[in-house]
Structure 1
Amino acid sequence: MKLEHIGLIGYGEVGKIFCAGLLKQLGVTGVGAWDLKFAQAETQATERAHAAQAGIDARSCMQALCEDSELILSAVTASATLAVAQEAAAFLRPGTIFLDLNSASPGTKQQAATLIEAAGGHYVEAGVMTSVPPYGIRVPMLLGGVRATALARALTGWGMDAKVVSDRIGVASAIKMCRSVMIKGLEALVIESYSTARAYGVEDHVLPTLQETFPGIDWSAEGAYFFSRVAQHGQRRAEEMRESAHTVREAGFQPFMAAAIAEKQQWVADEAKAGVLAGVPKGAPWQAYADALLAARKP
């Protein structure tokens, strides 16, 4: 499988990490990227400068990216998954591999696959199974699709952790989405429980009981991590949880929990956007986040 020219759609946190990592791989002669931020007046100078410094070719449009790529990775927000696949399908070269990294439901991935395959491309879905930053391009991924096995061989040759779970589209995303209900749900529960405990002044009683019941988890440290990740990426997490709710609905159930988790993640994202958490320093304990949220509740 010849993969010399790689294109990234979405130059956000994940896109930047993958661009930098893939550029270093043997046989890769160039990595390009396209993001709407490259064309927006308020962001284009900063984002294009970042890409240039990293050795990434910031493309002028989706068409320019697709016409020069043998492998395209889509790393956008969950809500944009289908729209990006539809736009890319109009410009793909026949035989292009389209690797969809986005956190979307099986149904959404299947619709995206139909668009890419109809355009002559080869769609492979990826379920990214944990947070990307600690791992970089070696983050554990589950692949699905007819071309998943061939692509996995190429990716593992670059040192990536890519495992094939099915030749059918939807299996990898179902695994990812079901896991997200648990992980993002735990984040939402911790934020709601800890903040409420802080409001009543009972956190020193609540956390020890959690520690006793689940001794393998450092509940204070995990609390700080959960608060910080949701404060930073709550919008993205809320969109992912809406896709998780679609996944539950596609299975024939009402997504009571997934929908509620999405609402909680969105609430934290909105609070962060409003500046409520702006004074919380990096590496702060969970109490600092809870105090900031509580202060905003006071009349």
Structure 2
Amino acid sequence: MKKIALIGYGEVGRILGEDLRARGESVAAFDLKLADARGHALREHALSHGITLAGSHADAVRGAELIVSAVTASQAVPVAQACASGIERGAFFLDFNSASPGAKCRAAEAINAAGGRYVEGAVMTSVPPYRIKVPLLLGGPDAAALEPLLASLGFAPKVASEKLGVASATKMCRSVMIKGLEAMVIESFTAARHYGVEDAVIASLRETFPGIEWEKQAAYFFQRVIEHGRRRSEEVREVAETVREAGLEPWSASGTAERQAWVADLADAGLFGERGSKEFARSADWRMEADRILNRDEK
């Protein structure tokens, strides 16, 4: 049995915790949300799955063979720095976060200076459908050494490069498209709904891109952005930084981040129902959510 530490106990952290415990591994976790009103649900989840909750970053990682950091993009570097004081020499630190190559290099400096082995991990699609087997690109000098350990734990890793930043650049450049498509669908379909032309727009898209089920895809995009728009907006700001590091002005990525954050603001204001309820962000028809957006001033 290996001790594994999860830093970040949100959706991804809980999924990984469940799957690792199902394999009999010892799992500790820490999340800043444990200190506020959101902590009750996290404590209940940990208790039901046999996961030990720690009181700090350093307490969670102490004695762990593997640490997985799965927090919001803006916290990737601060979390690495906070974990450095407790990390065991030779322990692997797997950075799951959607951060720019530059941020990954700064996080690596903190971990490696403390004697840990930093490996960047680029999660290449949404975690929930795949759970622990989500396609995962690894990067850095210690990536090849970590790959067999991750495979033995049920992950689906593939080494992208021995050079830090390559794996995250792959994910970030992909996210210009994927997160941008989410924002564009919400903007396009909601505006089309206002003008009563949504069926014509979807018919045209279906003809141009016949491989996409636009009704189903739109419902999924609306659901994910309503539920996770805040986290997505932070990720896309890291995407914009990645584009900026390449010498380009990130007009598309910056606009996507603003649209994602805008939807998150509406969700936080209760426009789509009570966050955390069974009905929240679960509509199978995107039109219901688009109508809420269009009629928001009437609330």
Which TM-score band (shorter chain)? over 0.9
Identity percentage over the alignment?
Answer: 53
> 1:164 is aligned with what amino acid?
V
3-state SS, counterpart of residue 192 of structure 1: helix
CA RMSD of aligned residues (A): 1.4
Q: How far off is 1:159 after superposition?
A: 3.1
Task: Return 280-289 or 96-105, whichever deviates more.
Answer: 280-289
Residue 288 of structure 1 aligns with an amino acid whose one-letter code is M
Secondary structure class of the residue paired with 1:127:
strand
What is the CA deviation profile of residues 200-240 of structure 1, one whole-angstrom value per residue up to 9, with x for unaligned ones?
Answer: 11112111000011111111111111011100000011000
> Any stretches of 5+ residues in structure 1 without a counterpart?
none
Residue equivalent to 2:14? 16
Counterpart Cα distance in 2 of 1:238 and 1:223: 18
Q: Quick check: 2:73–2:98 contact (8 Å CA) kept in 1? A: yes
Deviation at 1:90, TM superposition (A): 1.8
SS in 2 for 1:85: helix
Secondary structure of the 2:127 match is coil
Q: Could you tell me which residue of structure 2 aligns to residue 243 of structure 1?
A: 238
Alignment deviations for residues 39-67 of structure 1 (CA, whole Å, 9 cap, x no partner)? 33x23333222201111001122121121
Whether contact under 8 Å (1:125, 1:172) holds in the other structure is yes
SS in 2 for 1:68: coil
Residue 65 in 1 paired to residue 60 in 2? yes
Instruction: Return the alpha-carbon distance in structure 1 between the equivalents of residues 251 and 35 of structure 2.
Output: 39
Q: Could you say which residue in structure 2 is the equivalent of 1:287?
A: 287
Q: Map of 1:136-151 to 2, 5 A cutoff?
A: 136-151=131-146
The question of whether the paired residues in 2 share the 8 Å contact of 1:105 and 1:173 is answered with yes
Deviation at 1:37, TM superposition (A): 1.9
**2:80 equivalent to 1:82:** no
* Counterpart in the other structure of 2:124: 129
Alignment of 1:23-102 (within 5 A): 23-25=21-23, 28=25, 30-40=26-36, 42-102=37-97
What is the deviation of 1:283? 3.3
After the TM superposition, which residues 95-244 of structure 1 pair with which residues of structure 2 at under 5 Å, given as runs? 95-244=90-239
CA distance in 2, matches of 1:159, 1:64: 25
Q: CA deviation at 1:145?
A: 1.1
Is the partner of 1:135 in helix, strand or coil?
Answer: helix
- Normalising by the residue count of structure 1, what TM-score does the alignment of the two structures yield? 0.95
TM-score relative to the length of structure 2: 0.95
Q: Per-residue displacement from partner, 1:98-140 (whole Å, max 9, x unpaired)?
A: 0000000000000000111011100000000000001110000
State how far apart, in whole Å, the 1-side matches of 2:187 and 2:40 are.
39
In the alignment, the residues of structure 1 paired with residue 44 and residue 225 of structure 2 have an alpha-carbon distance, to the nearest angstrom, of: 28
Q: Is the 8 A contact 2:101 2:165 kept in 1?
A: yes
Superposition pairs of residues 239-278 of structure 1, within 5 angstroms: 239-278=234-273
| AA at the equivalent of 1:263 | E
| 1:232-251 Cα deviation digits (max 9, x unpaired) | 00001100000000000001
Q: Which runs of 4+ in 1 moved over 6 A?
A: none
CA distance in 2, matches of 1:53, 1:43: 17
Query: Could you tell me which of 4, 7, 12 is aligned with 1:6?
Result: 4
Aligned length: 294
Shift, 1:38, TM fit: 2.0
Aligned 8 A contact 1:39 1:60 in 2: no
Separation in 1, partners of 2:177, 2:69: 24
